Amino acid sequence: MAKQPNLLNGPAPAELRRKYKIIIFFVMACFSLLLTRLWYLQVIKGDDLKQKSENNSVRFRKIKPLRGLIMDRNGTILVDNSPSFDVLYMPSKGKDPDRVLKKLRELYQNKGMDLSFDQPFPKNAKPFLPVKLEKNVNMEKVAIVETNALDLPGVYIDVTPVRQYIEGQVVAPFIGYTGEISKDELEKNVEEYTSGDVLGKYGIEKFLDSHIRGRRGAELVEVNVFGKEIKNVGRIDPISGYNVTLTIDANLQKVAWDALEGKAGAAVALDTRDGSVLAMVSAPSFDPNLFNSGISLAEWTKLLNNPLKPMSNRSISGQYPPGSTYKLIVAAAALEEGIITPETTFHCNGSFELGNRSYRCWLKKGHGSVNLHRALVESCDVYFYNVGKLLGVDTIAEYARRFGLGELTGIDLPNEKGGLIPTKQWKVERLKESWQLGETISISIGQGFNLVTPLQLAVAYSALANGGTIWRPRLINRIETTEGGIFKEYLPEKRGELGLTEKNIEILKYALWGVVNENGGTGRAARRPGSDVSGKTGTSQVISMPENDKVRRDKKINVFHRDHALFVCYAPRENPEIAIAIIVENAGHGGSAAAPVARKILDAYFNGKKKNVLKKPEAKIGLTDVTGNRQQ
């Protein structure tokens, strides 16, 4: 190396070599220091520190925050938190997990209880990761584990907050549920969450997760050889999540649930004046508390595979043909376009001929000559076949859109479906086929390709009731800080106008009143003295039936092929306050199966109002400044 020739420029090699020696000396000195320290820690103090690590010592523990409460409009708590006692097993502490499990099972059985952890202990369990044996156990089991700690090495109790859903099934479809973060969710939000975090999986719990969740705390605890905590070394308190007040009325919600329980269907009640959702029921439902004790795979698949789909919120994601409730839209279009006047009559002899096909009216003997009012009151199909044929599918679709059908209502919930309002262009693009006139005939009585959600129907009828305003349905009233200040307030939001003349609105409203209150009206089951209910029945075909009526009515046909019953209404006639949409699946006629459900909700609403139970939520003015900052 010394043989290298001199550098042309730069420092002389002698000088460089001197520096090199100094540097190497310096580096060696530094590393000797490190090695000395390493020797000191590992060899001299090694045994000492080893013991510390084995008995150890200080443990860092995450503390789960309390999720915010969810309340109804009157402050009734719908979702709370409660402590969950979990039985855990630390593999590194126990030598023989299977024997410990056997012992625990024995102890349980002595008291007549079972250990729900029924599989053999996982072979690949990592020694320092606790295995959850049971979640959310009762106090008896806690007592057994605590008193037999010596016989159960490695087994201990951990307390964490879990969600408590009061009247779980009643509100589950929109409240949703929580669960431990999944692999996918974790990968999407590495920054925000860590493994083991609990987050909202569905409904409001998911929609408002970032506000409800709160912030994790942490704790440093000194632990003794048995894993028992001796001393708290330091702590950062968790921060509870914000509380949420919904627009829901818990009483009305319960009544609506009771009216639908045992059936499959949905009920939505809106405040016609601002779009607040007063009740939203989907049946059958599920118990969100199931997820607290760790739902088993069998239970989970059972829920998912249930043909009645208890995990879906039919009010916003159930898409049904609107049936005769759609006649309101066709009537509005016809009046507004000047195709008919209220006096225009068509003759119904029970069927309508187009080409070589015959379209039946639901009343086989026919309605005779009917005008618009009678056609709506008695729900005459033939009348609307005629009107629909004159209007054409695209004009009907335009009015359906004005009523907010076929598009998202914008409700503050995830998983909303938009439904479908077909047009000629849609069919060409989607099915690569041209539109058939016969399809227009089906569309005009709300069958065929038409699909709407119960919430959309409630919004549409609510708009007619309030004189033409489409409100965005809102479920969330406000989010409050833990101290009670308003963090965010959700105000009513106008989404559109029907754009109908006042005269036509009055004509339609009078007809809808007639449906419930006049002789021959299809919705008489919803009649309430004093509150002047107005509405429209509907029956939506699930599959097209052979022409023969007898087959259609035959009880022996597959339950899932029977028609859905619909009823949409609002009340009172003057200054309407509440609009309701009901669907009862596979239940037959709207007038007989759905209208009585609406009637029960209306009873509760107006009786409750009389008793002054249904308070208007008071705005807490003065608690917050304009920016929403908390003030004490």
Partner 1 sequence: MILRFDRRILVNFDWTLLAIVLGICFIGVLNIFSAGYSLSEKQYPLYLKQIQWIALGLLCMLIVFFIDYRVISRIAYLIYGFSLALLVFVALYGYTSNGSQRWISFGSVFFQPSEFVKLTIIVALARYFDDHKSLEPYTLKELFVPLLILFVPFILVLKQPDLGTALILLIIFSSIILFIGINWRSFLIAVVVVLISMPVGWHFLKDYQKDRLLTFLSPENDPLGTGYHIIQSMIAIGSGGFLGKGFLKGSQTQLKFLPEQQTDFVFSVFAEEWGFAGGLVLMLLFIFLIVWGMKIALHSRDLLGTLISFGITALISWEVFINIGMVLGILPVVGIPLPFLSYGGSAMVVLLMSMGLLMNVSVHRFILQR
Which residues belong to the active site? Answer: 324
For the bound state, the minimum distance from the C-beta of residue 210 to partner 1, rounded and expressed in Å, comes to 17
**Distance set, CA 339 to CA 25, 41, 336, 359 (Å):** 102, 95, 8, 21
Residue 58 Cβ vs partner 1, minimum distance, rounded to whole Å: 7
Consecutive H or E run containing 412: none
- Residue 48 vs 146, nearer CB to partner 1: 48
CB of 300 to partner 1, least distance (A): 18
Torsion angles phi and psi, residue 163, rounded to 5: -70, 140
Applying CB under 8 A, which of residues 10, 529, 530, 622 lies at the interface with partner 1? 10
Q: Nearer to partner 1 by C-beta: 93 or 273?
A: 93
Phi, psi dihedrals of residue 232, rounded to the nearest 5°:
-95, 120
Pairwise CA distance, residues 477 & 578, whole Å: 17
Shortest Å distance, C-beta 185 to partner 1: 9
Minimum CB separation of residue 64 from partner 1 in Å reads: 16
**Residue-by-residue DSSP string for 272-338:** TTT-BEEEEEEES---GGGGTT---HHHHHHHHH-TT-TTS-HHHH--B--GGGGHHHHHHHHHHTT
Question: Which CB, 127 or 546, lies closer to partner 1?
Answer: 127
The DSSP code sequence of 512-524 is HHHHHHSTT-TTG
Tell me if 16 contacts partner 1 by CB under 8 A: yes
> Nearer Cβ to partner 1, position 24 or 428?
24
Q: Residue 134 belongs to what H/E stretch?
A: strand 131-134
The answer to whether the beta carbons of residues 448 and 439 sit under 8 Å apart is yes
| Cα separation, 71 vs 239, whole angstroms | 19
Distance CA(494)–CA(22), nearest Å, equals 79
- Considering only residues 235 to 294 of the shown chain, the ones binding partner 1 according to CB under 8 A are 235-236
Site mask, partner 1, residues 424-443, x = CB under 8 A?
--------------------
Among 112, 120, 127, 546, binds partner 1 (CB under 8 A): 127
Closest distance of CB 97 from partner 1, Å = 16
The radius of gyration computed from the CA coordinates of the chain, to the nearest angstrom, equals 34
Binding test (CB under 8 A) with partner 1, winner from 14, 129, 150, 621: 129
Q: Kindly tell me which of 186 and 354 has the beta carbon lying closer to partner 1.
A: 186
- Cα separation, 419 vs 423, in Å, equals 13
Judged by CB under 8 A, does residue 520 bind partner 1? no
CB of 21 to partner 1, least distance (A): 10
Residue with smaller CB distance to partner 1, 297 or 626:
297
Q: Which two tokens stand for residue 213?
A: 């969740």
> Which residue stretch of 10-18, 156-164, 369-377, 552-560 sits at the interface with partner 1 (rule: CB under 8 A)?
10-18
Q: Between 109 and 189, name the residue whose CB sits nearer to partner 1.
A: 189
Burial class (CB in 10 A: 0-12, 13-18, 19+), 464: buried
220 binds partner 1 (CB under 8 A): yes
In this structure, which amino acid lies at residue 83?
P
DSSP class of residue 610 equals: H
- In the complex, least distance from residue 23 CB atom to partner 1, rounded to whole angstroms: 6
What is the closest distance, in whole angstroms, from the C-beta atom of residue 197 to partner 1 in the complex? 11
As a whole number of angstroms, the distance between CA 148 and CA 155 comes to: 10
What is the C-alpha separation between 321 and 406, in angstroms, rounded? 11
Measured distance CA(543)–CA(159) in Å, rounded: 52
Measured from the CB atom, the residue of 45 and 102 that comes closer to partner 1 is 45
Q: Per rule CB under 8 A, is residue 226 in the interface with partner 1?
A: no
How far apart CA 535 and CA 522 sit, in angstroms, is 9
Residue 474 DSSP one-character state: B
Q: Are 330 and 444 contacting, i.e. CB atoms less than 8 angstroms apart? A: yes
Binding of residue 7 to partner 1 (CB under 8 A): yes
Q: What is the closest distance, in whole angstroms, from the C-beta atom of residue 149 to partner 1 in the complex? A: 20
For partner 1 (CB under 8 A), the number of binding residues is 58
Kindly tell me which of 50 and 561 has the beta carbon lying closer to partner 1.
50
Mark 70-109 with x for binding to partner 1 (rule: CB under 8 A) and - for no binding: ----------------------x-----------------
Site for partner 1 in 21-60 (CB under 8 A): 23-24, 27-28, 30-31, 33-35, 37-39, 41-43, 45-50, 52-54, 56-60
User: What are the CA-CA distances from residue 92 to residues 12, 129, 372, 607 (Å)?
Assistant: 63, 8, 80, 63
Q: Cα–Cα distance between 480 and 487 in angstroms, integer?
A: 5
Residue from 159, 233, 304, 559 binding partner 1 (CB under 8 A): 233
* Binding to partner 1, residues 155-214 (CB under 8 A): 182-183, 186-187, 191, 195-196
Q: Which is nearer to partner 1, 31 or 300 (CB)?
A: 31
Is residue 327 a contact partner of residue 376, using CB atoms and an 8 Å limit? yes
Q: Is the dihedral of CA 30, 31, 37, 39 positive or negative?
A: negative
Residues that bind partner 1 (CB under 8 A): 1, 4, 7-11, 16-17, 19-20, 23-24, 27-28, 30-31, 33-35, 37-39, 41-43, 45-50, 52-54, 56-60, 92, 126-129, 182-183, 186-187, 191, 195-196, 218, 220, 233-236
